Amino acid sequence: MSVPLVDGFGRVHRDLRISITDRCNFRCTYCMPAEGLDWLPRENLLTFEEIERIAAVMVDRFGIDSIRLTGGEPTVRANLPVLVEKLAALGVDLALTTNGATLGLLADKLAAAGLRRINISLDSLRPDRFEQLTRRADLNRVLDGIDAALAAGLDPVKVNAVMMRGVNDDEIVDFARFGRDKGVEVRFIEFMPLDADLSWSSDKVVALDEIVSTVGDVFPLVPADRSHSPAALWHYADGRGSFGVIASVTEAFCGSCDRVRLTAEGMFRNCLFAVQEHDLRELLRSGADDDALAAAIAGAVRDKWAGHAINQVHFIRPGRSMSQIGG
């Protein structure tokens, strides 16, 4: 019988984010400096069996019921459908976040292995700007990947767009229209201080209120009831879908956060912005049993802080970027 995974503030955690690689087939300007990053040696990455074991402990002992695979870019990990099948067998709500560039080849295989939901990161619909942001001329491949995910029956298909002042904030309505026409749910994300080039500042954040008013000026909206999801949702009044805004900066949802994270090399993080990590890989490879793993996980979650404190004087920026932590 499982027991809730609870922190010191009474928050129950049911959502596990697993980064399976720090590598990517894009070189996005806010994820990776121009000179690139030092990749982890392959032997430092958790194996599929190690990932499965940690996930199984968290499902069986703590009732984790949602797992999302992230990166880096998870589709660059060889034999990804094998891992999907292992985790799907745990009976969880299994999802994947990807840049979509190889989904045209993988979507059917991932769906057949047990993947049900997918989020596709896409920060511009304009070919020249997409290439500038990703250092790759692959927008059409990503758009084809979205079509492939829909054709494979993945549901929902969500498109994540990080809004940055002076970079792509003039595409808000374009993204809303794209979501309506394509039948996908766009998730606008406020720009967070996890960029690899350390260029983040509060004046680059496009806030929830501005995004909603910009969309609402063109398409009448009806707000949805707020759930435990990090995204605040709005429905289009004409019934043609919905969109969300993840306002991690201006309207932090730390009080209802139910996520924990496992990095590609096996470091357990109790918050996206945590400055401390807990080494589960060392436990695994030193022969620790499931009781020891569970105790380490429970202790880490008990130590979770109240919130990340972005824009406050005591905010501490993590030492790693989003691509190294996992989304």
For tokens 């491949």, name the residue.
141
Task: Report whether 321 contacts 196 (CB < 8 A).
Answer: yes
Q: Where are the domains of the chain?
A: 5-325
Whether pLDDT at 170 is above 60: yes
pLDDT band at 271 (very low <50, low <70, confident <90, very high): confident
Between 304 and 124, residue with greater pLDDT: 124
Between 35 and 306, residue with greater pLDDT: 306
The angle formed by the CA atoms of residues 306, 309 and 313, to the nearest 5 degrees, is: 130
**pTM exceeds cut of 0.75:** yes
Residue 119 has a pLDDT of: 98
The string of pLDDT tens digits covering residues 222-238 is 999 877 678 899 999 99
Lowest mean pLDDT among 13-17, 37-41, 206-210: 37-41
Could you report how far apart the first and last alpha carbons of the chain are, in Å?
Answer: 30
Class (C level, CATH) for 5-325: alpha beta
Helices (H), the chain: 48-62, 80-88, 103-113, 127-134, 139-151, 172-182, 208-216, 280-285, 290-302, 322-325
For residue 204, the SS3 value is helix
Per-residue pLDDT averaged across 242-270, rounded?
Answer: 90
Radius of gyration of the chain (CA): 19
Residue 191: phi, psi to the nearest 5?
A: -65, 120
DSSP string, 271-313: STT-S--EEHHHHHHTT--HHHHHHHHHHHHHT--S---TTST
